[in-house]
Structure 1
Amino acid sequence: MKEKNLKTYIWNLVLSAMFMAIGLVLPFFTGQIPQIGSMLLPMHLPVLLCGLICGWQYGGVVGFVLPLLRYVMFGMPPIFPTGLAMAFEMAAYGMIAGALYKHSKWQCVVALYRSLLIAMVGGRIVWGAVMVVLSGVSGQAFTWQLFISGAFLTAVPGIILQLVFIPAVMVALDRTGMVRFARKTQAVQASN
């Protein structure tokens, strides 16, 4: 492995671990109350940032592992069906946001919002599909009303938080040069 590739790999691994740690800690600010957590979606923020900064592969892995690890460590979110559905949903968030942002012609605020919005819709569709499968396995009904309520109506405060907070963080990181460095490391990975 070339030295430049090794540095890139280590950089992305360290950042991914940091985003994982942030995702483990953020739900404590909602007081471990599931109703508030489902409104503010605190674990989604670091997963989306990980996908945007480190790339879709890292965002997908962090997104999938985070709810499962949080369940093992703290017992929340309940593993079936919520935790499993969240694992697939958040993996989709990290992968979609990272892939779309990386392949944007210009990595600007417009591309960032486009990536975020498409990732949010795609992740919620994945969540709905997984919930249908898991509900079928458990013999419970998962209706269209439950999907709309769980994916959109309850999550409006979290969606607004994501659309305000993530671009602000990305702009701040871009000014410090961190995002430019991450883009260069992704370009090195893609060329090899």
Structure 2
Amino acid sequence: MNSKTKRLVMTALFIALGTIVPQAFHMLGLGPSQVFLPMHLPVMICGSLLGPIAGLICGLITPLLSSVLTGMPPLMPVGLAMAVELGTYGLVIGYLIKKSNIWIALIVSMLAGRLVNGIVNALIAGFSASAFGITAYLTTVFVTALPGLVIQLILVPLCYKLLVKTRLFE
């Protein structure tokens, strides 16, 4: 299999995982997605292993496909904001992993994705004449999601290091 085909197939695999993992999470009754962020993990791992373009594509497609197939997240406004957020994660981690280590790439991508998500949510609120409270937003993405952030900080580097050792993603 040539490298472009392999990259495409692997990206599709991570998109599928990003759709399936949250569903399995809910079926097992493990808690709300906004707390544990199960869709974020495959996107971050995809970007770190396959690079910024694959990470961006995986991040943009995964929440939109999940919305269409499962109804979660709701397409507007959550799915749209998540697509931009997850696309940012994949792009940033994929770019930075080549220039730094997994920890720096992961933390910067986590912050960049949340910043972009906040901007998109503020724009959506402005266009829909809804209220956008910065305090409520920050509480949601940093306090409510704290368990998910910790999971990301543990599982993304662990999966990255284990999967690099397999040499499957060279």
For normalisation by structure 2, the TM-score amounts to 0.94
Structure 1 partner of 2:12: 17
User: 1:134, CA displacement in angstroms?
Assistant: 0.3
CA RMSD of superposed structures (Å): 1.5
User: 1:56, CA displacement in angstroms?
Assistant: 0.3
The aligned runs of 1:27-176 (5 Å cut-off) are: 27-31=22-26, 36-104=32-100, 111-176=101-166
User: 1:175, CA displacement in angstroms?
Assistant: 2.4
Query: Which blocks of at least 5 consecutive residues in structure 1 are unaligned?
Result: 1-5, 105-110, 182-192
Structure 2 partner of 1:108: none
Larger radius of gyration between Structure 1 and Structure 2: 1
Q: Aligned letter for 2:13?
A: M
Q: Aligned letter for 1:51?
A: G
User: 1:167, CA displacement in angstroms?
Assistant: 1.0
Cα separation, 2, equivalents of 1:53 and 1:172? 11
More helix by percentage? 1
Structure 2 partner of 1:190: none
Size of the aligned set, in residue pairs, is: 168
User: 1:125, CA displacement in angstroms?
Assistant: 0.1
Output one character per residue of 1:38-57: Cα deviation in whole Å (capped at 9) or x when no partner.
01101100100111111100
Q: Displaced runs of 4+ in structure 1, greater than 3 A?
A: none
SS at match of 2:32: helix
Q: Aligned letter for 1:93?
A: Y
Cα separation, 1, equivalents of 2:63 and 2:126? 22
Cα separation, 2, equivalents of 1:79 and 1:116? 26
